[in-house]
Amino acid sequence: MIDAAIFDRCVSCGLCLPACPTYQETMTETLGPRGRISLIKAMALGELEPDSPGFQATIGGCLGCRACEAACPSGVAYGELLEQARERIEHAVVPSRSLPKRMIRTLLLRDIFAHPWMLRASAAIARFGQRLGLDRLLVLTGVARLLGLERAIALAPRFDGTSFVAKGQRFAAHRVSKTVALHVGCIASVAFAKLHEATIRVLNHAHCTVVVPAGQGCCGAIAAHAGERTDARERAKAVIAAFESSGASIYVTNVAGCGAALKEYGTWFAHDAEWSERARTFSAAVRDITELLDEQFAASPPKLGPLKCSVAYQDPCHLAHAQRITAAPRRLLEMIPAMTLVPLRESSLCCGGAGVYNLTQPDMSDRLRARKIETIIESGAQVLATANPGCAIQIEAGLRERTLRLPVMHVVELLDEAFSAYDASTRSRPASASAMVR
């Protein structure tokens, strides 16, 4: 069901239009938030079929970046409206979907993301292919194009064989002010294990003991964005149950997209008598890593060594717009001695990554990525910082395409290097965290 209370708040003022990347690129009303909202309303009123090609194109073309939501003075909850519309489309198109497509979708959304071992096996296969150069061979021979895998291969992160398995580990800080539980996610657990290592080291420096609850997994965002909200809630229940038994008072994530979903579990379960209270309590405990570190370092300033470089910060949509966090990551970067934070024009305009948007909507995704790369070059920065691995994947692919060698790093990774620089300068490096990853 579409919640009419959401679209009824829209007064069609158009103040959201300048914030919308797809509107900015096309200047087309139906590819902007106001047009999309009016079409969702028409569909809810029965004036438009959810599986009509035009409606699907309009909704499918939306990045879900929620820049419109942050810009809207009337408080239209566009993100929630979008997910309800995606769910209606999904229900309408399921019967006409071919069996092979249904099987692939089930494998990707229900099986792989629900079972961490399947995710690790998939990552191991991808790594094997990358190491042997099979990915390049598939592209060079044209087989990748025939199989529709060309973009997936170009965008895939380099798998380094490490993964982070959540099994109830505990990483104690020397001086403890908080115990926090880390969400390691699905793709992040196999493609960004080293980011999790860095996150734990930095949290320990910030006087936080870190626990990693067993039984967690995908937050459900990928399923929700695909219109599979029932599956998304099943993933969410597993996450809630795992974290409730962790004993931690704060739940932290280093992936902005996951954080936005975790903070919205209260909305996801608003009409579920059994889970609504638990979901609300859970969401209230969630913090993005930059939000938490900003609080911790304000109370107890960190000892950081110098990193002599210029850095531009790219705002991830799900941090800046969905969670409204823009100052904390910048404050953290400004704490690093010798580092210069340079401005990045349009830093909060979507890079075109947007989950799997870069696979499903290649033309618009490429346009936005090229636009982002231009602003990065213009900034003159030596390093691009972000706070979301999805943005890093998209921007790195754009830099590779232009043969530009510019490191893309998470804010936490830069902080980790600054802590190492300080420790090296005092010759008392912290214990290696390599044992955390296997």
Q: Residue 84 in 3-state DSSP? A: helix
Name the DSSP letter for residue 158. P
Check residue 261 for interaction with ligand SF4 (CB under 6 A).
Answer: no
| Distance, CA of 416 to CA of 54 (rounded, Å) | 48
Taking CB under 6 A as the binding criterion, the range among 73-81, 104-112, 229-237, 393-401 that sits at the site for ligand SF4 is 73-81
Check residue 57 for interaction with ligand SF4 (CB under 6 A).
Answer: no
Candidate residues 2, 44, 67, 312; the one interacting with ligand SF4 per rule CB under 6 A = 67
Candidate residues 40, 43, 64, 344; the one interacting with ligand SF4 per rule CB under 6 A = 64
| Distance, CA of 250 to CA of 286 (rounded, Å) | 6
Candidate residues 6, 43, 68, 392; the one interacting with ligand SF4 per rule CB under 6 A = 68
DSSP letter string over 243-260? HHTT--SEEEES-HHHHH
Candidate residues 4, 8, 12, 370; the one interacting with ligand SF4 per rule CB under 6 A = 12
Candidate residues 13, 147, 338, 370; the one interacting with ligand SF4 per rule CB under 6 A = 13
Query: Binding to ligand SF4 (CB under 6 A): which residues in 184-223?
Result: none
The residue among 36 and 235 lying less far from ligand SF4, judged by its C-beta, is 36
Candidate residues 22, 283, 290, 361; the one interacting with ligand SF4 per rule CB under 6 A = 22
* Amino acid, res. 287: R
Residue with tokens 């914030």: 19
- Name the pairing type of β-strands 286-288 and 208-212: unpaired
| Distance, CA of 174 to CA of 208 (rounded, Å) | 9
| Distance, CA of 100 to CA of 102 (rounded, Å) | 5
Taking CB under 6 A as the binding criterion, the range among 49-57, 74-82, 206-214, 219-227 that sits at the site for ligand SF4 is 74-82
- Name the pairing type of β-strands 169-171 and 178-182: unpaired
Taking CB under 6 A as the binding criterion, the range among 45-53, 70-78, 204-212, 340-348 that sits at the site for ligand SF4 is 70-78
Element at 126 (helix H, strand E): helix 116-132
Find the shortest distance in angstroms from Cβ 63 to ligand SF4.
Answer: 4
| Distance, CA of 338 to CA of 310 (rounded, Å) | 9
Joined together, the tokens standing for residue 205 give: 């420096």
Check residue 89 for interaction with ligand SF4 (CB under 6 A).
Answer: no
Least Cα distance to 215 among 114, 300, 284, 92 occurs for: 114
Rg of the chain's alpha carbons, rounded to an integer? 21
Candidate residues 4, 11, 284, 298; the one interacting with ligand SF4 per rule CB under 6 A = 11
Find the shortest distance in angstroms from Cβ 57 to ligand SF4.
Answer: 13
Check residue 10 for interaction with ligand SF4 (CB under 6 A).
Answer: yes
Taking CB under 6 A as the binding criterion, the range among 30-38, 105-113, 184-192, 356-364 that sits at the site for ligand SF4 is 30-38
What letters, b where the CB count within 10 A reaches 16 and e where it falls short, cover 133-146? ebbeebeeeeebee
Check residue 78 for interaction with ligand SF4 (CB under 6 A).
Answer: yes
Find the shortest distance in angstroms from Cβ 127 to ligand SF4.
Answer: 33
Contact mark string toward ligand SF4, 31..50, x via CB under 6 A: --xx-xx-------------
Positions touching ligand SF4 (CB under 6 A) are: 10-16, 19-22, 33-34, 36-37, 62-68, 72, 74, 76, 78
